[in-house]
Structure 1
């Protein structure tokens, strides 16, 4: 497949060498369909070293492709397979693996050093819901202007916040300063499967 970049045509290299692109005189043939290959070849085919031209001929007679699986082996390892189906199955597996990986969601909750009790309780309830949903919570106290002198208030506020969320999650670390913010990250507790 070719694509154009600023007037130049750039050829995209194939992931595997197939059929006529395999120019080595001998290869090691492996695969699940060696019985089918044996019928075409008229002899019992085992996972052994064969002349490349013979194996290409067998693949052509089966209506399949000769695909180089391991090019760095001595001699290279090849299979007779349907290359398009092989690529399709490979992409499908990669997609399944990607879907199974957990995506971490981080929700932020902002406090001021002088946050009153009502606001604090309101934000704690939100944090509880976030943790129950499996998201991490990044809580921070933002110090504006001269409020930077109240670092101890901010730390007490975040420690109180952690105490309220003990049942729902655990802090990854103690509150720490980053610029004008004091930050703590709370991870949800693992739910016990019954």
Structure 2
């Protein structure tokens, strides 16, 4: 039975491979040893034997301080997670007979979302019999896409969705 930790590392006496390729603390290849010999070398140095790659033949093991190795691996994973930006879809809603100032507010909202790297779903809402003014809503969405053309591109053209018309804008790739 192999002892694997949460980070999937096999260490010390849980390494059951007949032979391993051994790398020392400074990264120098020592050669191919039996797993027991490699473990004894690691114990003499007061360190751990950790399987770095079990994909190769024979598996690659390194003599390191497992605590420090685990800490560095976790720190690297946190940094990668920090740099990752999840793109989400933000929504801007309005009516087809929107006032000029309110329209400017929606443009600024969409601009802020696009600059943050998010997609923007622009929705024009109809109530009652307003759906007969479908062409005015399309004109409004076209105007919005023209006003935001410097920072975005149309990902989804205006589509009728029940009593709404939606369009999706996405920021340009950097």
The answer to whether structure 1 residue 140 and structure 2 residue 127 are counterparts is no
Give unmatched runs, 5+ long, in structure 2. Answer: none
Comparing 111-120 and 82-91, the one that deviates more: 111-120
- Cα deviations by residue, 1:80-138 (Å, 9 ceiling, x for unpaired): 11111111111111111111123435432111233233432332243344445554432
* 2:69 counterpart residue number: 86
TM-score by length of 2: 0.80
1:18 shift after superposition: 0.9
Say if 2:150 is the partner of 1:182: no
Alignment of 1:1-194 (within 5 A): 13-14=4-5, 15-33=8-26, 46-132=29-115, 134-189=117-172
**Count of aligned positions:** 170
Do the aligned residues in 1 keep the contact of 2:12 with 2:50 (CA within 8 Å)?
A: yes
| Bigger Cα Rg | 1
**Aligned residues of 2:25 and 2:64 also touching (Cα < 8 A):** no
Checking the alignment, whether the CA contact within 8 Å between 2:4 and 2:10 is kept in structure 1 is no
Give 4+ residue runs of structure 1 displaced > 6 Å after superposition: none
Gap regions ≥5 residues in structure 1: 1-11, 36-45
Residue 162 of structure 1 and its aligned partner are, at CA, apart by: 1.5
1:7 match:
none
